[in-house]
C-alpha cells in the first residue's frame, strides 16, 4: 500500500488567470431549434384538429404524429448541452449520448471549414494520430454515427457550426489555435 502525501498550498503552482485560454464550446442554436419546435408543433396541432372519422382523417392523424415528433427532437437538441468543448487539456465531442475526448498531443490536426453563406454550416474536424483506441471504445450506435460522419466529411470526429449550432467565439480558428498552443496545428480549410 502506498501513502499519499499532499503538497502544501504554499508549494503549489499559482495559475495566472491572464495566461490561461478560455474554454471554447459549440452548442445547439436555441433560436433555430425553438422556432422549428414551435412551427412543427403548430402544424401537428393543425393536422390533429382537422382530422375526422373519414378515411383522410387517418392520414391526417399520421401526419400529426409525424410532425409531433419533430418538436421533441428539437427540444432535446436544445437541452443536451454542448456538442464540442475545447480547453487547455484537449477536445471533447458529444456523439449521441457519449462524450469522446482526446488530449491535444494525440491530435494530428484540427481543420475548420468556415461558413460560406447564410444557409451553410461550417465544420470543425478533429484528425487523430491514432483513431483506433478512441473509436474502438465507443458504443455500436455511436460508431454508426462516426462512420456516417466519415463518409460525409472525411473524418470520424466532426461537429457543424453556423445555422444549427453556435460557437462560443466567432473567431473559431483563433480560439482553437490559442487552446492548442503548439501541441497540434489548427488550420482553416479553404
In 51-171, alpha helices (H):
55-79, 131-136, 140-153
If you average pLDDT over every residue of the chain, what do you get? Answer: 77
Nearest residue to 159 (alpha-carbon basis) of 108, 96, 90? 96
Is 112 a member of any domain? Answer: yes
**Number of domains present in the structure of the chain:** 2
Answer with the residue of higher pLDDT: 21 or 88.
88
**Residue range of the domain that includes 55:** 30-79
Using pLDDT thresholds of 50, 70 and 90, give the confidence band for residue 6: very low
Is 11 a member of any domain? Answer: no
Instruction: Clarify whether residues 59 and 87 are in a common domain.
Output: no
Is 131 a member of any domain? Answer: yes
Instruction: Clarify whether residues 171 and 94 are in a common domain.
Output: yes
pLDDT, tens only, 30-65: 667 677 778 888 888 887 777 765 667 777 788 888
The pTM (predicted TM-score) of the whole model is 0.66
Is 48 a member of any domain? Answer: yes
What is the rounded distance in angstroms from the CA atom of residue 50 to the CA atom of residue 147?
42
Query: What CATH number corresponds to the domain at position 173?
Result: 2.30.29
Instruction: Clarify whether residues 91 and 62 are in a common domain.
Output: no
- Contact at 8 Å (CB) between 73 and 36? no
Answer with the residue of higher pLDDT: 9 or 61.
61
Instruction: Clarify whether residues 132 and 73 are in a common domain.
Output: no
- Percent of residues, the chain, with pLDDT higher than 70: 83
**Highest-scoring range by mean pLDDT, 52-61, 71-80, 123-132, 160-169:** 123-132
- What residue has cell string 453556435? 166
pLDDT, tens only, 64-90: 888 888 887 777 766 667 888 999 999
Is 13 a member of any domain? Answer: no
Amino acid at each position: 500500500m502506498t501513502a499519499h502525501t499532499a503538497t502544501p498550498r504554499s508549494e503549489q503552482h499559482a495559475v495566472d488567470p491572464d495566461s490561461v485560454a478560455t474554454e471554447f464550446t459549440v452548442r445547439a442554436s436555441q433560436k433555430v431549434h425553438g422556432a422549428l419546435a414551435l412551427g412543427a408543433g403548430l402544424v401537428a396541432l393543425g393536422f390533429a384538429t382537422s382530422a375526422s372519422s373519414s378515411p383522410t382523417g387517418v392520414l391526417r392523424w399520421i401526419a400529426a404524429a409525424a410532425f409531433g415528433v419533430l418538436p421533441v427532437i428539437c427540444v432535446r437538441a436544445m437541452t443536451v448541452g454542448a456538442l464540442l468543448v475545447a480547453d487547455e487539456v484537449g477536445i471533447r465531442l458529444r456523439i449521441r449520448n457519449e462524450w469522446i475526448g482526446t488530449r491535444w498531443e494525440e491530435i494530428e490536426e484540427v481543420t475548420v471549414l468556415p461558413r460560406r453563406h447564410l444557409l451553410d454550416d461550417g465544420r470543425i474536424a478533429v484528425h487523430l494520430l491514432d483513431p483506433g483506441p478512441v473509436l474502438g471504445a465507443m458504443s455500436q450506435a455511436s460508431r454508426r454515427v462516426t462512420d456516417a460522419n466519415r463518409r460525409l466529411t472525411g473524418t470520424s470526429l466532426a461537429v457543424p457550426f453556423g445555422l444549427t449550432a453556435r460557437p462560443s467565439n466567432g473567431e473559431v480558428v483563433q480560439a482553437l489555435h490559442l487552446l492548442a498552443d503548439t501541441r497540434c496545428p489548427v488550420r482553416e480549410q479553404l
